[in-house]
Amino acid sequence: MRCPEVRDLLHAFLDGELEVDKNVAMLKHLELCPPCRERSGCEQELREVVVRACCEPVAPERARALLAAACRPGPDALGGDAPAAAAPRVPSRRWRRWSAAAAVVALIGGAGAWALRAPCPGSDCSTRSLLAWARAQAQLEPPLPLEDLYERLGERFDAPAPAGLTLLGGNTLTIDGQRAPLLRYRCDCDGKVVVVARVPGVHVHGRDVRRLADGRSYVVVEHEGAKLVGWQGGDGGLWCVIGCEALPRERLYVLASAMRG
């Protein structure tokens, strides 16, 4: 693929509208062509600027009032006393807790990049999850063979096995009393190691959610050289690919897409 064609297809690429083969050709070209990569980066940045500017935080009290009104039986839910207007705006204890969670996240993801919500009211597991997660990232033990990992977890599971990656084994991560797998893969092409983690019970919500080339949404976090591309799994948890070494961001996107299947 040559530069003029890349320019023509760039918007469709960034909007996730390209066929798989064209997508791959685009990724290859962008990896090798700095001017096109710069152009693509700028276009992507404009998209992110819009999402960030349009994210209008709803205070938990108001969220509760909105949802309660929406779910209220009877046709009068839209009446003049719509809680949208009357919702109290006093910060609640829960709001402070979420703020604390957001502060922890800011530590990892850069200021204001994320906000996380506990999946269940009254739980602050997101904070603890992230602390545990950050600790685990910093202190990875050598990987256990998969059979040992299964034994430690007390369960077997299907580890993602995308092409081009070799599973080295994994460790466990204890979050809210649950053990979760933290798998390590080596890229066949250059021997670099990536970690794939599942953080159960964490609902991701935030400003740094990006739609990548495969058309699906991911959370992207970069902080002090560490990069993470995560997505909400069907099991209500967060799955993520963490680059332990200096992997280019685009590589992580491709890996996350492959892991997701």
Partner 1 sequence: MVWEHVGEDVVTSSRGEPSGDAVGDGSSGGRGSRGGRGGQPSAAGSQAEFEELVLPHLDLLQGFALRLTRNRADADDLLQDALYRAYRGLGGFERGTNFKAWMFRIITNAFISRRRSDARAPRLVDLDAVDPGAEPAPDQAEALREELVDATTDWRRVYAEHVDDDVKQALDELPLEFRLPLLLSGLGGLRYQEIADVLRIPIGTVMSRLFRARQRLRRALRDYALARGIAVGRVEEA
Give the C-alpha separation, 72 to 79, whole Å: 11
CB of 90 to partner 1, least distance (A): 18
Residue among 239, 238, 241, 235 nearest 255 (CA): 241
* Residue found by looking up tokens 């003029």 in the block: 4
Which is closer to partner 1, CB of 234 or CB of 261?
A: 234
Which is closer to partner 1, CB of 4 or CB of 177?
A: 177
| Stretch of 1-9, 22-30, 111-119, 249-257 lying at the interface with partner 1 (CB under 8 A) | 111-119
Given 183, 204, 213, 241, the residue binding partner 1 (CB under 8 A)? 204
Q: At what angle are helices 125-138 and 93-109 packed, to 10 degrees?
A: 20
* Residue found by looking up tokens 């709803």 in the block: 58
CA distances from 109 to 130, 242, 249, 251 (A): 11, 12, 14, 19
Q: Which of residues 231-250 bind partner 1 (CB under 8 A)?
A: 232-237
CB of 21 to partner 1, least distance (A): 18
Token pair for residue 234?
């069907």
Does the protein bind partner 1 through residue 128 (CB under 8 A)?
Answer: no
Given 37, 97, 131, 150, the residue binding partner 1 (CB under 8 A)? 150
Question: How many angstroms from the chain centroid is the CA of residue 249?
Answer: 13
Does the protein bind partner 1 through residue 131 (CB under 8 A)?
Answer: no
Three-state DSSP class for 218? strand
Classify the C-alpha dihedral 196-202-206-209 as positive or negative. positive
Which is closer to partner 1, CB of 25 or CB of 59?
A: 59
Give the x-and-dash track for 86-105 against partner 1 (CB under 8 A). --------------------
Give the C-alpha separation, 99 to 218, whole Å: 22
Does the protein bind partner 1 through residue 132 (CB under 8 A)?
Answer: no
* Residue found by looking up tokens 């990548």 in the block: 212
Q: State the DSSP H helix or E strand holding residue 23, giving kind and residue range, or none if neither.
A: helix 20-32
* Residue found by looking up tokens 């460790």 in the block: 171
Q: Which of residues 24-43 bind partner 1 (CB under 8 A)?
A: 42-43
Which is closer to partner 1, CB of 74 or CB of 142?
A: 74
Which is closer to partner 1, CB of 33 or CB of 244?
A: 33
Q: Which of residues 49-68 bind partner 1 (CB under 8 A)?
A: 49-58, 63, 66-67
Number of residues near partner 1 (by CB under 8 A): 65
90 exposed, middle or buried (CB, 10 Å; 0-12, 13-18, 19+)?
Answer: exposed
HEC-encoded secondary structure of 182-215: EEEEEECCCCCEEEEEEECCCEEECCCEEECCCC
Does the protein bind partner 1 through residue 161 (CB under 8 A)?
Answer: no
Does the protein bind partner 1 through residue 20 (CB under 8 A)?
Answer: no
Which residues would be at the binding site for partner 1 (CB under 8 A)?
A: 11-12, 15-17, 42-43, 45-47, 49-58, 63, 66-67, 69-71, 73, 77-78, 82-85, 115, 117, 119-121, 150-151, 153-157, 176-180, 198, 200-201, 203-205, 211, 215, 217, 232-237
